Structure 1
């Protein structure tokens, strides 16, 4: 355990050293490669009130992050719930699989910006199109993982449940879904990752407060140090959430990886 932590820390320090060396060598202008010191300065500036200015665009960095996390949480929750339900139907009902399977694949291949403009036309520029965008981005990975896992459930489990008198309507929730849970959790992790990569697109319109909105606003003014700060915040928070999901997976499906 200690060795793994030490290796990860050494990797991070090596990347920081390389970043500092490239910035110090002035191979590219600071607007292209901001120094670690400039990014740290922006971290302090965006996290405090200074010279009468509150954070960035009137919001502290923590408030930007909280707004983005709230959107990601809502979109991911809706996407996971819909994806599990849809995946069960696709995996258990051949007719539904034939009808909706291609549609899920079609949506999964679309880049978020391709349909975000349409969502804005339908729902306006408030929070609804952002949440719907993250929902649509998160749903297909969960649906595909659930459907594949459901179809892979051993038939002996189903026969045993029915022979013990389990009603047909209880088998999907009491037998099929628990058996498929490890693969479903993998789909959930993928879905949350997709939602994270989509949040910048979701916050391109009226996205302040929000980390993605902050990045987009800073990009307009060539504030690359703020852009890099936003990317680092998204990446670090994403790592923490993925670690929490892995912990939940170990608690909910402790048998995974064991014979």
Structure 2
């Protein structure tokens, strides 16, 4: 059995799941921290039992993220009928509450290491990518934008460093045979090159996001699974916009998905070594 470590860039994972939820499900879809935790475990199971690979066993899941901000900031747009924009309270902001709850879920999950970085002191408002696309396609005009079309961007610190250090440690100490990295940028290329030099089978899961040539060049394979199906099965919510690729891909993946029952039991005692 090949020992396999699964490393997840939490910010990237969170945004990709929200993207698929927003694009293929009803706007009323609300994911809970427990459901996100289940999606993580099911995604890990699929990588562990990937039919394209030799038999694997889970060494550990590493999840990298930053604690969400807890301060208040002024909104970027003054709503009609108001004299001031008002403030956002990040402690009460639903997506940030969800991130905090997910961190609590992962802390109590067996074979899971939560690696938290730090946030920069200051941030800025940025236009959401789907709102920008709507503007460029002429589906929305600037005057129609609301505060819901923006998100507050705060730079993360030390997250990439911790991820790179863990890859290096896993490789140099020969703790695993396979590393699966769930991420989408090329910041980890130096660590991936080192791991491969040490004989580690390095697999990248970009969750169907486009990857740079430098990133895909320095890994041993790319492998992504059906996130839409994972969200549907965990939440029980119907898919409202059927993906064009679903019918062709879902038939081939069905048997693998149904058999992916590796025991990563979240209700077991936390790993004392973490």
Same fold at TM > 0.5: no
Which structure carries more helix by proportion?
Answer: 1
Of the two, which has the highest radius of gyration?
1
RCO higher in structure (CA 8 A, sep ≥6): 2
Range into which the TM-score falls when normalised by the shorter chain: under 0.3
